[in-house]
Amino acid sequence: MTQAVEIAKSVSQAGEELADFIQRYPKLWVITGAGVSTDSGIPDYRDADGQWKRPPPVQHGDFMGSFAVRQRYWARALVGFKAMREAQVSGAHKALAALEAMGFIELLVTQNVDRLHQRAGSKRVVDLHGRADLVKCMSCDYTMMRHAMHSEMAVMNPRFAALDARYAPDGDADLETDFSTFKVFDCPRCGGILKPDVVYYGDVVPPARRLAAQAGLSNAGAVLAVGTSLMVFSGYRFCRDAHGLGLPVASLSLGVTRADALLTHQWRAPLTPVLEQAVSCLQSD
* Active-site annotation, residues: 129
187 is in an annotated binding site: yes
Q: According to DSSP H, which parts of the chain are helical?
A: 3-24, 60-65, 67-86, 91-101, 116-120, 146-156, 158-161, 207-218, 233-244, 271-284
140 is in an annotated binding site: yes
User: How many Å apart are CA 265 and CA 159, to the nearest integer?
Assistant: 51
137 is in an annotated binding site: yes
Q: What residues contact residue 91 under an 8 Å CB cut-off, 6+ apart?
A: 39, 272, 273, 275, 276
> Taking the CA of residue 240 as centre, how many other CA atoms within 13 Å lie in the half-sphere pointing to its CB?
9
User: How many Å apart are CA 30 and CA 128, to the nearest integer?
Assistant: 12
239 is in an annotated binding site: no
Spatial CA neighbour of 34 closest among 61, 54, 60: 54
Residue pair 228/235 in contact (Cβ under 8 Å)? The answer is yes
- Annotated binding site: which residue ranges? 137, 140, 187, 190
- Annotated binding site for Zn(2+): which residue ranges? 137, 140, 187, 190
